[in-house]
Amino acid sequence: MINRPTPKKVRIRRSMMFMNAQKPNLLKDAYIYGVDSIIMDLEDAVAENQKDSARFSLFNTLKNIDYGDTEVIVRINGLDTPHWQEDVRVCVAAGVDGIRIAKCESADDVRTVEKAVAAAEAEFGVESGRTLLMAALESPIGIMHAYEICTASTRLFGVAISAGDLRKSLHVKSEPGGVEMFTARSQVVMAARAAGVQCFDTMWPNLDDEAGFEAETIQARQLGFDGKSLINPRQIAFVHQTFAPTKAEIAYAEKLIRSFNAQQDSGIGVYTVDGKLVDVPFFDDARRVLAQAKAIGIYHGEL
């Protein structure tokens, strides 16, 4: 396993909302939506003949707007394009928090971007290691290499599955219940958890099908994702609610920890709380739930 520094605080990333870097009016107000992360897109949302102007507009916005606590990530163009190196230089010079590597296929792709980021940090006098990475897995080979990608760099905080491109390669379409994505989604979650990084579900493109969006979001949480990529502000509230512990989950976690604290000297490792068996993994998970609820700001207890 890669020797990854222990993060001081795990950053909550329930929502990562895309916006087109070509549109300065979107970028300038981006922080008002309260998403956890903004993804300013230089890739597929930007027409090929607008790449330079979108990058220029992005740089000016980033230099002039204070995004406060909202994490700012830029999706750069793929490594098979003539754009990505300049994208990296501009992102680093502008001081972004992270770079999303589009269509990442291998650990080498991550290391190639990492090298360019390190060079740009040196070039622009940016603190070494400040610029984080995440990778979007959008092809069968990217999914097959998920674990190597997840462990390729200490800068890499997570991976996203990107179903628009993946479905294209698999020759499938979006099906009710997401059956066509089930294996890939599970593989991404497994790889991310094995590597100790976060994982994010893909965006839902059909803005008029709210029920479909909600079902997919719930399934992503059930599969173990930390959050979801979004394309529109009307998707934020449901995603934030779904990727947070419920009141009942918080109350039960508190109860478990209290019972553990009360019982730990009794010499009994396993017993029941509310009729359910509990032992070490259940206590560990309860601690994770409370830490997550605290980080989101919905639990203020002392545990």
Ligand X SMILES: CC(=O)SCCNC(=O)CCNC(=O)[C@H](O)C(C)(C)COP(=O)(O)OP(=O)(O)OC[C@H]1O[C@@H](n2cnc3c(N)ncnc32)[C@H](O)[C@@H]1OP(=O)(O)O
Q: 104: closest CA among 158, 36, 53, 55?
A: 158
- Going by their DSSP bridges, the two strands 276-278 and 271-273 should be labelled as antiparallel
Binding letters toward ligand X, positions 22-61, x by CB under 6 A: ----x--------------x--xx----------------
Q: Which residue matches tokens 């499938």? A: 172
Displacement of CA 282 from its chain's centroid (Å): 25
Contact between 232 and ligand X by CB under 6 A: the answer reads yes
Q: Which partner, Mg ion, ligand OAA, ligand X, none, binds residue 232 by CB below 5 to 8 Å per kind? A: ligand X
Segment contacting Mg ion by CB under 5 A, of 91-99, 164-172, 190-198, 251-259:
164-172
Q: What is the DSSP letter of 234?
A: G
Q: 34: closest CA among 74, 70, 62?
A: 70
Element (H, E) at 136: strand 132-137
> Number of helices and strands (H, E) in the chain?
12, 10
Using the minimum distance from each CB to ligand X, give the nearer residue, 44 or 285: 44
Using the minimum distance from each CB to Mg ion, give the nearer residue, 136 or 256: 136
**Cα–Cα distance list, 137 to 75, 150, 265 (Å):** 13, 10, 47
Contact between 18 and ligand X by CB under 6 A: the answer reads yes
Segment contacting ligand X by CB under 6 A, of 124-132, 175-183, 227-235, 243-251:
227-235
Q: Which partner, Mg ion, ligand OAA, ligand X, none, binds residue 76 by CB below 5 to 8 Å per kind? A: none
Q: Give dist(CA 129, CA 272) in Å, integer.
A: 46
- Find the shortest distance in angstroms from Cβ 37 to ligand X: 12
Q: Which residue matches tokens 């979650």? A: 189
- Find the shortest distance in angstroms from Cβ 138 to Mg ion: 5
- Under the rule (CB under 6 A), what is the footprint of ligand OAA? 44, 136, 138, 160, 162-165, 202-203, 229
Element (H, E) at 55: helix 51-64
Contact between 162 and Mg ion by CB under 5 A: the answer reads yes
Binding letters toward Mg ion, positions 171-210, x by CB under 5 A: ----------------------------------------
Displacement of CA 78 from its chain's centroid (Å): 18
- Find the shortest distance in angstroms from Cβ 25 to ligand X: 7
* Residues within the interface to ligand X (CB under 6 A): 17-20, 26, 41, 44-45, 164, 203, 231-234
